[in-house]
Chain A
Amino acid sequence: GAGVSQSPSNKVTEKGKDVELRCDPISGHTALYWYRQSLGQGLEFLIYFQGNSAPDKSGLPSDRFSAERTGGSVSTLTIQRTQQEDSAVYLCASSSPTSGVETQYFGPGTRLLVL
């Protein structure tokens, strides 16, 4: 498909386990964002990748959170030793600055539930 895809769509895990969330951006998009959306909250910025530049990790809430982007395409968000407060919808977005100012295209999200 032509849009941003994310997997899994839903993830249920036990407290203390590690989880990996995957994002496939739109082909050719150089910018990739991760956000967290909690119930009743707006979007909380987590991390931003742009081309080959060092990622902006300023939004990561703790050192249990990390993300990689391999080959400038697919990204993986890893949460280690999950806590119940990590339960949220994790959204990925990509954009192509060359096509205009930062219009973001969002994936459907991964709904994470930590028991």
Chain B
Amino acid sequence: AQSVAQPEDQVNVAEGNPLTVKCTYSVSGNPYLFWYVQYPNRGLQFLLKYITGDNLVKGSYGFEAEFNKSQTSFHLKKPSALVSDSALYFCAVSAPSGGSYIPTFGRGTSLIVHP
């Protein structure tokens, strides 16, 4: 069975500092990896995805994520955090070739950016 772990319930960072939100996964076959963001009282919004190719994926709002196959990780990063980045972030994995085409989501990480 495929699974996703987001080891941090909350990440605190000062505005202007770099941020990292961690995600590790377990899946059979090649993973498809996603990051979504959820602002208060809103649905989830797609940020970026990794399917194949370059391990560094760039997405919306200046976010990027790096696929690391050996560490089975897909950490979300941003060089300089903004207060407006404060939200709930979800990592998800699917594996159409060897697992399930239905994405499995992590529990979410609350990112708080302090002014």
A→B interface (CB under 8 Å): 4, 33, 35, 40-43, 45, 48, 56, 91, 93, 100-109
The answer to whether B46 touches A103, judged by C-beta atoms less than 8 angstroms apart, is yes
Report how many A-B pairs have Cβ atoms within 8 Å. 51
| Complex Cα spacing A104 to B94, Å | 12
The answer to whether B32 touches A102, judged by C-beta atoms less than 8 angstroms apart, is yes
| Known contacts A33-B102, A108-B43, A109-B43; is-contact A102 B107 (Cβ 8 Å) | no
Residue among A93, A101, A108, A109 with max Cβ neighbours from chain B (10 Å): A101
A35 to chain B: closest residue by CB: B105
Q: Does B103 contact A (CB under 8 A)?
A: yes
The answer to whether A105 touches B102, judged by C-beta atoms less than 8 angstroms apart, is no
The answer to whether A106 touches B44, judged by C-beta atoms less than 8 angstroms apart, is yes
| Complex Cα spacing A35 to B103, Å | 11
The answer to whether A108 touches B42, judged by C-beta atoms less than 8 angstroms apart, is yes
The answer to whether A106 touches B45, judged by C-beta atoms less than 8 angstroms apart, is yes
Sampled A-B contacts (14; CB under 8 Å): A33-B102, A35-B105, A48-B102, A56-B102, A101-B49, A101-B51, A101-B96, A102-B101, A102-B103, A103-B49, A104-B44, A104-B46, A107-B43, A108-B43
The answer to whether A42 touches B94, judged by C-beta atoms less than 8 angstroms apart, is no
B56-74 near A? 1/0 per residue, CB < 8 Å:
0000000000000000000
Q: Does B90 contact A (CB under 8 A)?
A: yes
| Complex Cα spacing A41 to B90, Å | 11
Residues of B within 8 A of A48 (CB): 102
The 6 closest A-B pairs by CB, nearest first: A106-B43, A42-B107, A43-B105, A106-B44, A108-B43, A42-B105
Which residues of B, 19-56, contact A by the 8 Å Cβ criterion?
32, 34, 36, 41-46, 49, 51
Other than A102-B96, A107-B43, A109-B43, give 13 A-B pairs with Cβ distance below 8 A. A4-B43, A42-B105, A43-B90, A45-B102, A100-B51, A101-B49, A101-B94, A102-B32, A102-B94, A104-B34, A104-B44, A106-B45, A108-B42
| Known contacts A4-B43, A42-B90, A91-B44; is-contact A104 B103 (Cβ 8 Å) | yes
